[in-house]
Structure formats: structure tokens, C-alpha cells
Chains A and B, each alone.
Chain A
Amino acid sequence: MDYFAQQLINGLVLGSIYGLIAIGYTMVYGIVGMINFAHGDIFMIGGFIALITFLILISLGLTAIPVILLVVLLVSMAITALYGWTIERIAYRPLRHSFRLAPMLSAIGMSFVLTNYSQVAQGARVKPIPPLITGGYTLHESVDGFVIRLSNVQILVVVTTIVLLGIFTWLVSRTRLGRDMRACEQDQTMAALLGVDVDRTISMTFVIGAALAAVAGLMYLLYYGLVDFFMGFVAGIKAFTAAVLGGIGSLPGAMLGGLAIGLIETFWSAYFSVEYKDVAAFSILIVVLIFMPTGLLGRPEVEKV
């Protein structure tokens, strides 16, 4: 039971990270109707930028952890958002009215560019950082000595995710930008006729998605204490799986799917085998798509002729 509770905590934390990445997929899919294959690599870039900013701040002599975290968060969000914006401008916007597969292939190309760009720029070796946030709470100690621990990093990850989700939900449901985004999702031509700047709205979607991915990158860095140039590929596919599981196009669905994938992966590693945890996540994707092609919270798609 204690073991289960510990795995539950670990799974929820991992799921929060997947959920943050999955939101980027689901938003872009909702509006543009394409799988932004490079989104996982945006997450990786976010992690790298956070790492480099950490190094600079620490070598400048800053010691106040909250200040460091805030600066790193803002810097990595800003720069990664610019990456998202630039990629949309270069690789996706010229293809918006091209044939169906073109943006997808362009996105695969962009994913290769980003992966190898960071390999060339930062080297192929894993980059570890010393743990910045230490300590935690012991929730329960059983008689045989098994301890359920909730570390401060885990609290930080979950709290940040909840706060960001709150801000994000407010953004989509209450602001002008959110209204434009929902309008573009329904009908781009009609939205344009009613004075919505479609290009700008789509750009902003990529910017927000990339910023959330940057937060996920930072959380990953804090939680696991390392980044490497190849981490975006698998994390990206799993986050996409999460988005599909939750019902692509649905924002609460993306978060729910993220948590589900995080839990499945953690429990699989804990009770079955660590080697096959990715196989489990990918198999879930296939099974979900067979039996629930619209996911948990997705709308059924109407086929029009």
C-alpha cells in the first residue's frame, strides 16, 4: 500500500510534466489541424535554456533559490516561446494551404533540425546539474521501514502546473486572445471575416504552447536533474499520446491524458518492468485509438462529404 502511494505521487508528478507538453500539441492541433512534431524538441530546448540560465546565475553569485527559479522560468519561457514563433513562421506558415501531409513532414524535418542543432551546439553528452531544491516531507512511515516521501521538487512541479493551468484556462476562456483562438478553431475563414487576425492568433498559439513546453523542460530539469539532446523525441511522443488519450483539441483532456500516461508509465515500471515502460505507453496509444478514437474528452468527429 505504501509502495503504491509512493508510486502514485511519482506518477502524478511525471504526469504533470507530460500534461504541460500535451497542451501544446492539443492547442496546435485544435487550431491548425496539424501534429506539431517538433513540439517535443521545443520542450528539450526549453530544458537546455533553463540549464544554461541556471549556470550563468549561479556563477554570477546568486544564492537566493526563489529568485533564481523565477528568473530561469521567465528567461526559458521567453526564449523558448521565440523558438516556437520562429518555427511556425519558417516551417509551417508557408505550408498552411498546402496539401495535407506537407506540414507534418516539415515538422518532422524541423524536429531533426532542433535535435541536431542542440547536439551540435551543446554536445551529445548528458548534462547533469546538482539538485537545487532539496528536502521534503515524510508523509508516512510503515513498520517495515518503507517511507512515503513527498519532496519539495515534487510539490513545486505540481503547484506550478496547477497555477499555470489556472492562468491558461483564464486566458482561453476570458480574454480577447482566447476568444480569437476559439473562433479560429471553429472556422478560420469566418473568424477572419469578423476581424480576427488569424495569422497572429496562430502565432500566439505556438508561442503559448512553446512557453508551456519550456516550463515542462524546466520542471524536468529540476525533477530529474539532467537534460540531453535526445530527450525531446520520446517525451514528445508520450505527450502526444497523452493529448490523444485525453481527446485531441480538448485542453482539460490534455492534462487528464498527461496524468494518465504518467501514472501508467510509473506503475508499469514499478510493478512490471522498467525496460518495457515506453512499450506500455505506446501500446496504450494504439489501444486507445482502436477503442476510443476521440479520446476521453474529445468530441466525436463528424464526417462531411
Chain B
Amino acid sequence: MTATPHETAKASRTAGIPFLLKTAFINAVIALVLFSLMIGIRTEAGSDGQLTYWTRFGDLASIVAAVFGGSIVIELLRQWIGPTGAEKLVPPAVQSGMSFIGRYLAPALLVFTLLVPVIFYNQRYILDLAILVLTYVMLGWGLNVVVGLAGLLDLGYVAFYAVGAYSYALLATNFGWSFWVCLPLAGILAAFWGVLLGFPVLRLRGDYLAIVTLAFGEIIRLVIINWQDLTGGPNGVSGIPRPTFFGIPLDNSDDGLAAKLRIEYSPTHRIVFLFYLILALALLTNWVTIRLRRLPIGRAWEALREDEVACRALGINTTTTKLTAFATGAMFGGFAGAFFATRQGFISPESFTFQESALVLAIVVLGGMGSQLGVALAALAMIGGFELFRSLETYRMLVFGMAMVLIMIWRPRGLIGHRAPTVYLTKAQAISSDLVKEGHG
């Protein structure tokens, strides 16, 4: 088992069934040792605090059998598909078909999204899910500025989401300010925190940066939990006002929007309004990002991602470049947070754990780091996938973790793994991202 995967594949093509059985047997033995105590024995604290245990050898046996069978299947698949890593030739017809789909996929998706409340007007569940997906699309696009464009790995993005959510919640509940006043404020406050985090991390390289941002996210969460006078601690903030249609409430009252328009009131109006609100916010994020990419600052971000040393040599001020990336990304996170607070009506620190950061980061990476369309599709796939596993509450994060590992092994570059350069000489040519070296951000 010390052979490299390459050698294993080579040997398996010549060795056949005995090798297959041997590999599967070894894997099964490893699985038996790994799971013997953790699965085979179940411990639980009894009512008197005394720890008891019982055995689950049936479960253990079935897992070991599954590993045995699974490794035979994987080995067969590996032989059948052939060595991985070889460049697969795509026929030109398929390639042009793909590029055709690629060109019209984004507009088609946008039109479909605009029509979602019309098509699914009576299906509250789908509308709620769509709002959730759009929230993550927006978060993904916001984080994409930091990770995808500027190449700075941020593991604490949820901190800015939390700052935005708490800004709106506290301003609205304490001072009664309206959503439309608080929304820009939430964005500005989050951007301020982004700059505050940005300052210390300017000198750090990729991995260190990741850990510092993670620590920052945890600090924000711990402060929210412990500063009970301000934030309500673990109990959160409740009774956050619902958004109004620029001052006109969306409720059943006499001066509500429904009464003013002389139509019959329905609770769905508010959901549809929230849907278009988050869609507008997400599209704003997208539009700003696309425009910024064409400005010197956006080009500086991408240059920074590719090579920081070269950037400095060319006279780009890396300090301001990094700070603007952090601030821009954080601002969109803040907007999304304010939206989250007004939609839920209740927020607590539990919504802002590291898992959220990891989920948004997974969306950006799965989307191909820098591709706007890819991020949107990845958010749809991730949140949709989460919904499919909703019934398996405890297994959900297990599956999510496995999916993250498998995606990294299978397609480390994400779904849409090429980048169209923003600056080109004669013809824009998409570069496979395998050729793009990551910077030292």
C-alpha cells in the first residue's frame, strides 16, 4: 500500500483479479481497524452521569463489507476509465456546442430567475428556497471579489455577514431606522471591518492569511455571544422589522401596499418582494464586480492574484489593492447580512459559524474562482443539495465534507475552470485555469 496511485493503477492493469481482491482485502482490514471502536462500540452518558456502552458489530460488519465492495468497484472503474490525469480530447463539435450553451446560459438563467415568482407563485417552499439560493449567490459573488479576483483566501467571510446582520438588527430595533437607511449603513460598517481586518493581514501569505481570517471570524462570533448587553448573547435579536416598499409596509393594514394598490392582500406579496430585493442586491453585486474588473483597481486585483511580486515591481500599491478587495467583498457581505436579518426577523450567533464561511468558500471554489456564472451555478447546486439532504440532519455536514474532499480531488479548479482575460491584444481567448499560477496573496 506504499505504492503511489500511479504505480497501483499500472500494476492493476496487469495483475487482474488477485490484485483486485488483495487491494480490497487490505482496504477492508484498514476500515475494520479504523471503525472498530468508533462504530463498533457506542458510548452514552446515562442519567446518573455514568458512562455506558453497547456494541454495534452489525453496523461495523456492514461498513467493512461496503468498503470491501466499494474498493473493488473503484478499482474496476479506474481500470475502465484509464489513467486519470491524461488530457481528454473533446471533439470540436461538442466544444462549439458547449461554448454556444455557455454564451446563452447566463441570460437564460437570468430570465428564468426573473420569472420564478410568477411560475411558482403558489409554492411558498420553492420561493423560500429560491431566496435562500440567491442569498448564497450574493455571498458567493461577494467573496469572489476577495478570493476569486484578488486571490486572498478568506475563511472568515461570515464575520462581515454577521456585522451586516447585527448592524441592521440593532439599528432597527433600538432606533427604529428603516431598512433602506440601514442597508447602506450595514454595508459601510461591514466594509469598515473589512479594512480593519485588512490592515494586519497585508503582509501575510496564503495559508497564514486563511488562519487569521478564520480567527477573526471566530472573534466576531465570540464577541457577539458574550457581549450580552448589546447583542442579546446566545438568545440573539428578535423582532427585527420587516422591510417596507420604500416606506409602505407590506402588510394587511389600511396603508399597506395591497390596500394602496387596491388588490387583495396575500402574505406571498412579502415573499415575492423579498425575492426581488435579494435578486436586485445580487445583481448589483454582479454588476459592480464586472464593472470593477474593467477598472484599474479590478485589473490590479487580478494581477495581484497571479503574481504579487510582479505587481509590486510594476508599481501597483499592493496595500490599497488588498484593502479595497477586502472592503468591497465585506461590503457585499454586509448587504447580504442586512437582508438576512430582515428576512428572518430573528438572528442569533448560531447563524454565523465557521461552517457558513466554509460553505460560501466551497461555493466560490466549486464555481471556479473568478467565474460569476460558475458561482451562481455552484450556489444552486450546493444549497439545492443541502435541501435534498435536509431529512438526514446529522448526515448533512458529513456528506458536505465528503463532497468538498471529492470535488477537490476530482475538479480542483471548479465547475467552470477557465478564465477569460480582461485585457487582451487581439482576441479574447479563455485560458484553462490549470495554466494559471496562483499568486502568493
Residues of B within 8 A of A240 (CB): 211
Kindly count the residue-residue contacts between A and B in the assembled complex, taking CB atoms under 8 Å apart: 187
Interface residues of A in 52-74 (CB under 8 A from B): 52-53, 55-56, 59
B127-161 vs A: 1/0 string, CB under 8 Å? Answer: 00000000000000000000000000101000000
Q: Which segment, of A103-111, A136-144, A152-160, A261-269, faces chain B?
A: A103-111
Known: A91-B405, A101-B153, A119-B394. A282 touches B218 (CB 8 A): yes
Query: Chain B at the A interface: mostly helix, strand, loop or mixed?
Result: helix
Q: Which segment, of B37-45, B269-277, B335-343, B371-379, faces chain A?
A: B37-45
Residues of A within 8 A of B383 (CB): none
Looking across the interface, which residue of chain B has its beta carbon closest to that of A200?
Answer: B2
Indicate if the CB atoms of A106 and B405 lie closer than 8 Å.
Answer: yes
Known: A91-B405, A286-B212. A82 touches B51 (CB 8 A): no
Residues of A within 8 A of B226 (CB): 275-276, 279
Indicate if the CB atoms of B34 and A82 lie closer than 8 Å.
Answer: yes
Indicate if the CB atoms of A52 and B37 lie closer than 8 Å.
Answer: yes
Interface residues of A in 264-305 (CB under 8 A from B): 275-276, 278-279, 282-283, 285-287, 289-290, 293, 303, 305
Q: Which segment, of A2-10, A125-133, A176-184, faces chain B?
A: A125-133
Looking across the interface, which residue of chain B has its beta carbon closest to that of A233?
Answer: B354
Indicate if the CB atoms of B42 and A49 lie closer than 8 Å.
Answer: no
Q: In the docked arrangement, what's the CA distance between A303 and B201, Å?
A: 17
Residues of A within 8 A of B216 (CB): 282, 286
B30 in the interface, Cβ–Cβ < 8 Å?
yes
Q: Which segment, of B235-243, B246-254, B292-300, B407-415, faces chain A?
A: B407-415
Of A120, A124, A127, A305, the residue contacting B395 (CB under 8 A) is: A120
Interface residues of B in 187-220 (CB under 8 A from A): 200-201, 203-204, 206-208, 210-212, 214-216, 218-219
Interface residues of B in 1-23 (CB under 8 A from A): 1-2, 4-5
Of B41, B51, B361, B409, the residue contacting A106 (CB under 8 A) is: B409
Q: In the docked arrangement, what's the CA distance between A127 and B45, Å?
A: 6
Residues of A within 8 A of B34 (CB): 79, 82-83, 86
B365 in the interface, Cβ–Cβ < 8 Å?
yes
Indicate if the CB atoms of A94 and B409 lie closer than 8 Å.
Answer: yes
Residues of A within 8 A of B408 (CB): 91, 95, 98, 102-103, 105-106, 109
Residues of B within 8 A of A59 (CB): 53
Indicate if the CB atoms of B398 and A55 lie closer than 8 Å.
Answer: no
Of A34, A86, A104, A293, the residue contacting B30 (CB under 8 A) is: A86
Indicate if the CB atoms of B33 and A79 lie closer than 8 Å.
Answer: yes
Residues of A within 8 A of B49 (CB): 128
Indicate if the CB atoms of A45 and B38 lie closer than 8 Å.
Answer: yes
Indicate if the CB atoms of A303 and B309 lie closer than 8 Å.
Answer: yes
Looking across the interface, which residue of chain B has its beta carbon closest to that of A56?
Answer: B41
Of B38, B200, B204, the residue contacting A52 (CB under 8 A) is: B38
B181 in the interface, Cβ–Cβ < 8 Å?
no
Interface residues of B in 217-241 (CB under 8 A from A): 218-219, 222-223, 225-226
**What's the minimum C-beta distance from A107 to chain B, rounded to whole angstroms?**
9
A35 in the interface, Cβ–Cβ < 8 Å?
yes
Q: In the docked arrangement, what's the CA distance between A276 and B225, Å?
A: 10
A147 in the interface, Cβ–Cβ < 8 Å?
no
Q: In the docked arrangement, what's the CA distance between A93 and B409, Å?
A: 9
B346 in the interface, Cβ–Cβ < 8 Å?
no
B358 in the interface, Cβ–Cβ < 8 Å?
yes
B283 in the interface, Cβ–Cβ < 8 Å?
no
B344-367 vs A: 1/0 string, CB under 8 Å? Answer: 000000000011001001100100
How many chain B residues touch A (Cβ–Cβ < 8 Å)? 62
Interface residues of A in 188-239 (CB under 8 A from B): 197, 199-200, 203, 233, 237
Q: In the docked arrangement, what's the CA distance between A127 and B51, Å?
A: 7
A117 in the interface, Cβ–Cβ < 8 Å?
yes
B110 in the interface, Cβ–Cβ < 8 Å?
no
Known: A52-B41, A101-B206. A95 touches B409 (CB 8 A): yes
Residues of A within 8 A of B37 (CB): 48-49, 52-53, 79
Q: In the docked arrangement, what's the CA distance between A55 and B219, Å?
A: 37
Known: A95-B408, A106-B408, A303-B309. A117 touches B38 (CB 8 A): yes
Indicate if the CB atoms of B358 and A108 lie closer than 8 Å.
Answer: yes
Indicate if the CB atoms of A35 and B211 lie closer than 8 Å.
Answer: yes
Interface residues of B in 393-428 (CB under 8 A from A): 394-395, 397-398, 400-405, 408-409, 412-413
B269-313 vs A: 1/0 string, CB under 8 Å? Answer: 000000000000000000000000000000000000000010000
Q: In the docked arrangement, what's the CA distance between A187 and B413, Å?
A: 26
Known: A105-B408, A109-B404, A275-B226. A121 touches B38 (CB 8 A): yes
Q: In the docked arrangement, what's the CA distance between A241 and B208, Å?
A: 10
B438 in the interface, Cβ–Cβ < 8 Å?
yes
Of B2, B39, B210, B400, the residue contacting A104 (CB under 8 A) is: B210
Known: A94-B5, A104-B153. A283 touches B219 (CB 8 A): yes
Looking across the interface, which residue of chain B has its beta carbon closest to that of A284?
Answer: B215
Of A105, A121, A276, the residue contacting B42 (CB under 8 A) is: A121
**What's the minimum C-beta distance from A239 to chain B, rounded to whole angstroms?**
11
Residues of A within 8 A of B361 (CB): 105, 108
A151 in the interface, Cβ–Cβ < 8 Å?
no
Q: In the docked arrangement, what's the CA distance between A278 and B222, Å?
A: 8
Of A101, A113, A303, the residue contacting B398 (CB under 8 A) is: A113
Looking across the interface, which residue of chain B has its beta carbon closest to that of A287?
Answer: B200
Q: In the docked arrangement, what's the CA distance between A102 and B434, Å?
A: 12
Indicate if the CB atoms of B53 and A289 lie closer than 8 Å.
Answer: no
Indicate if the CB atoms of B206 and A100 lie closer than 8 Å.
Answer: yes
Indicate if the CB atoms of A116 and B398 lie closer than 8 Å.
Answer: yes
Q: In the docked arrangement, what's the CA distance between A94 and B405, Å?
A: 10
Residues of A within 8 A of B4 (CB): 199
Residues of A within 8 A of B402 (CB): 109, 113
Indicate if the CB atoms of A48 and B215 lie closer than 8 Å.
Answer: no
Q: In the docked arrangement, what's the CA distance between A241 and B204, Å?
A: 14
Interface residues of A in 17-35 (CB under 8 A from B): 29, 34-35
Of A48, A100, A123, A276, the residue contacting B222 (CB under 8 A) is: A276
Q: In the docked arrangement, what's the CA distance between A101 and B305, Å?
A: 12
13 interchain pairs, CB-CB under 8 A: A29-B207, A49-B38, A51-B43, A104-B153, A109-B405, A110-B401, A117-B38, A127-B45, A127-B51, A237-B215, A244-B208, A282-B215, A285-B212
A-B residue pairs, 3 tightest by C-beta = A109-B404, A112-B401, A113-B401
Known: A93-B5, A112-B404, A122-B38. 14 other contacts (CB 8 A): A59-B53, A101-B365, A105-B404, A106-B404, A106-B409, A109-B401, A116-B398, A119-B394, A121-B42, A122-B42, A123-B42, A127-B45, A237-B214, A305-B309
